[in-house]
Structure 1
């Protein structure tokens, strides 16, 4: 299965945000190149919020081009075997943390946002990744800074998309914990 087909499969299984999900699916149906940066109408991106649930914190990157605190993520690459693999690759590259694991259950959230020309839209499929115990981050060339924030600090530094992603991630975590 190629990355385009995998992404369609992932989106069809994703039960949240039905209107936005349909926009993503329609985009991919209309644009066979809709996974790639070269698609001028917009393209799918993959990201992951890196969390340390035991310490109640999240790792954010100060994006070099945007100057905003964001989750790790970016463009899909032809070598990515799946959308989840793309998100995990991006999170690992940008956090410098080996051994990240995506939370089971697929994407946590979709976020469609405008970007400057020549492209028009990023159709971001957002996952969450758990950091292994004792994880040590390492800043990448794509970041101005990389920092752990307590859950309750995120709203003070990040935009609404990241705040919603954290809230959905915490809800997904609480659903996994018995009792």
Structure 2
């Protein structure tokens, strides 16, 4: 069964109870979830749709970034939800494995709750007949000692392990730096 509006709502509600300071910044997600709950998980919903991201932390405090081919930017692994995804965390783990070749057995979820939710604009892509839209990226923290095995070259050009203090986006930077290293 695909990810349900109830799962999305429960995730957002739990996240906001833990991070109430993010409420105003996530108003667009809250509004979209209320306005079109049955399509917000679809990549064809151009009023904005949910994606899942993986924040992969190594024991030395470095976080994985991948160079996204279509956007030409360094991002955290992640992407669109698929009909086979049943949870947001599972979708993030699937995307991580697809983009990096890291075996999910070598990855441990840090928490069942997202560490961060980000809203960011995606430019129009005429080749895919997609207008500009927003991604509501639900990001989960995972831990690993593994390295990238094989990049998904259709979507990813390169990868880099960056120390968390090099991440500039707040509040993500502060939250990553607060995670105890193991």
Q: 1:86 aligns with which of 84, 91, 97?
A: 91
Residue 5 of structure 1: aligned partner: 6
1:34 to 40, 52, 68: 40
Partner in structure 2 of residue 95 of structure 1: 100
1:149 counterpart residue number: 162
- Runs of 4+ in structure 1 over 4 Å off: none
**C-alpha contact (below 8 Å) 1:72/1:91 kept by paired residues:** yes
Query: Residue 110 of structure 1 is aligned with which of 108, 117, 123?
Result: 117
TM-score (norm 2): 0.81
Q: Give unmatched runs, 5+ long, in structure 1.
A: none
8 Å CA contact 1:49–1:165 kept in 2: the answer is no
| Offset, 1:34 | 0.8
TM-superposed CA distance for 1:105, in Å, is: 4.3
Please give the TM-score of this superposition, normalised by the length of structure 1. Answer: 0.83
DSSP-derived class of the 1:77 partner: coil
- Summarize the alignment of residues 1-179 of structure 1 with structure 2, pairs less than 5 Å apart: 3=3, 4-14=5-15, 15-16=18-19, 17-31=22-36, 32-52=38-58, 54-98=59-103, 99=105, 100-117=107-124, 118-131=131-144, 133=145, 135-137=146-148, 138-141=150-153, 142-152=155-165, 154-155=166-167, 160-161=168-169, 164-171=171-178, 173-174=179-180
Where does structure 2 lack aligned partners over 5 or more consecutive residues?
Answer: 125-130
- Distance in 2, matches of 1:95 and 1:170, equals 23
* Cα displacement (A) at 1:136: 2.6
